[in-house]
Homo-oligomer: A and B are copies of this chain.
Amino acid sequence: MDVSTLPPPVTHESDTCAVVRAILARVGDKWSILIVRMLGDGSMRFSELRRSIEGISQRMLTLTLRNLERDGLVERTVTPTTPPRVDYELTDLGRSLQSITEAFGRWAVTHRDQIENARIRFDARQ
C-alpha cells in the first residue's frame, strides 16, 4: 500500500485551519451568503437578485457572483437574446454548502441574544 496516496491525517491542524479560513473569507464577505440563500430556492436572473437583495450595488452583485462562479458554487447561464438574459443557479457544490450555512444560521439565531447581551455588558464595562 502506497502511503503517499493516503490523505494527510491532519498531522498539524493549521492546514485545516487555513482551508477553513480561506472558505470563510470567500463566503463570509458581505453578500455571498445572502446570494447563496436566495439561490437556494431556485434559479434567478441578475435583475431579480438585484431587486431582492436590498442595498447591493450592481458592481458588488457582479463581483460576488463572479467569485461564486469561479469557486464552482454558482453556475451562470447566458441566453443571448435582446435584451440578454442571464440566469444564476447553485451547483451541486453550492447546494452542499447550504446545509452548513443553515446550521450556521440556526446557531446565529439561537445565540444572537447571548451575543447581544455580551456586547452590552462588555461595552458597559469600558
Contact = CB atoms under 8 A, between A and B. Distances in A.
A28 B25 contact: yes
Contact of A119 (B71, B111, B112): B71
Copies in the complex: 2
A4 to B, nearest CB: 16
A37 B13 contact: yes
B19 A112 contact: yes
Nearest to A14: B54
A96 B108 CA distance: 11
Given A20-B33, A72-B114, A96 B100 contact: no
Interface of A: 13-14, 16-17, 19-25, 27-30, 33-34, 37, 54, 69-73, 93, 96-97, 100-101, 103-105, 107-109, 111-112, 114-115, 117-119, 121-123
